[in-house]
A = this chain, B = another copy of it.
């Protein structure tokens, strides 16, 4: 299939986005000027404004592209899981992040005015909450904690870990992290720290 639109547009868009990510990693988003971007991308400055209103806009565009890219992989993943899988396959998010590490870094650092990261977060949160609700309805159980809260907590957890993972060399593979996050979800943090279930009452202030 051929990508839609004018080739020139695709080329300059790609060049601008790549330039933005590179520069953001080099000197921080804030410090970048539009001229630097266009210079690095080898594009006329006026052209920049033909594509987006400002830096921020460009960054948000990148987030959208990234999400689209992820979605493109999703159907195949869903297929792999035999029956109606509705969740966001965490492992593939981490693998995708490993592939597109620079972009993920810039986004997850919350650079720009935060719009990009908020948009990123919201995408994941909406996915998660929908998946939770569907699952609960499917099994006919009633949640013990409001699902909106559970979704927020889970999203925060995921993004917190993801941000850390793409930033530093943690030594954990995508599969490692996924397994840990799963255990954490299933057995809880008290278990994760190594306490026996019987210690739980005394260990409540691990949280307070």
A interface with B by C-beta (< 8 Å): 28-30, 56, 81, 85, 87-91, 109-114, 117-118, 121, 131-132, 135-136, 139, 141-150, 152-161, 163-164, 170, 172, 177-178, 180-196, 199-200, 203-208
Asked if A193 and B30 sit within 8 Å, CB to CB, the answer is: no
Asked if A143 and B189 sit within 8 Å, CB to CB, the answer is: no
Give the chain B neighbours of A199 by CB distance below 8 A. 139, 141
12 pairs from A and B in contact (CB 8 Å cutoff): A89-B208, A90-B207, A110-B110, A114-B114, A121-B160, A131-B206, A135-B206, A141-B195, A144-B194, A146-B172, A150-B193, A186-B189
Checking B144, B159, B193 against A191 with a beta-carbon cut-off of 8 angstroms, the contacting residue is: B144
- Number of chain copies forming the complex: 2
In whole angstroms, how far apart are the Cα atoms of A195 and B138 in the complex? 11
Give the chain B neighbours of A30 by CB distance below 8 A. 56, 113
In whole angstroms, how far apart are the Cα atoms of A113 and B110 in the complex? 7
Q: Given known contacts A90-B207, A110-B110, A110-B113, what 10 new A-B pairs fall within 8 Å (CB)?
A: A89-B208, A91-B208, A109-B118, A132-B193, A136-B193, A143-B194, A145-B180, A146-B172, A148-B170, A150-B193
Asked if B188 and A186 sit within 8 Å, CB to CB, the answer is: yes
Nearest chain B residue, comparing its CB with the CB of A148: B170
User: Considering residues A87, A88, A181, A184, which has the most beta carbons from chain B within 10 angstroms of its beta carbon?
Assistant: A184
User: Considering residues A148, A159, A177, A182, which has the most beta carbons from chain B within 10 angstroms of its beta carbon?
Assistant: A182
Nearest chain B residue, comparing its CB with the CB of A201: B186
Asked if A150 and B207 sit within 8 Å, CB to CB, the answer is: no
Give the chain B neighbours of A163 by CB distance below 8 A. 156
Given contacts A110-B118, A114-B109, A139-B195, contact A207 B182 (CB under 8 A): yes
